[in-house]
Amino acid sequence: MGCWAASTWLNRYPSSQICGAFMVAPPDPHGPAFPRQAAATFTGLSAQPLPRPALVVGSANDPYCTPEAAAGFVARWEARWHLAGACGHLNSTSGLGAWQHGRVLLGSLTRQ
């Protein structure tokens, strides 16, 4: 849910000195696996254009968000989209370790 928290913060503070956002594995607040009871404050959020460049990375088989739903958020955030393949939910328990591919993607955002 960090993607939603980051996008909300960026839009609330558009004049901040933040240069960009690297957002990974956005959950779909309207999807069947979303923990509505535990994260009720996130269910009313909608994606709005971001005031800074952003790169959103998702997985082809994330149980919390389909690639199509994530691509929709990305379009409304006016961000770049990268589908990392079938990695499940991209988090510390995904077994990706140091996730070199993610480091390369982050580097592509910082070089803009």
CA–CA dist 90, 57 (Å, integer): 9
Per-residue pLDDT tens for 29-74?
Answer: 998 998 888 888 888 888 999 999 999 999 999 999 999 999 999 9
> Between 30 and 110, whose confidence is greater?
30
105, 55 contact by CB (below 8 A): yes
Per-residue pLDDT tens for 84-109?
Answer: 989 888 888 888 888 888 889 988 88
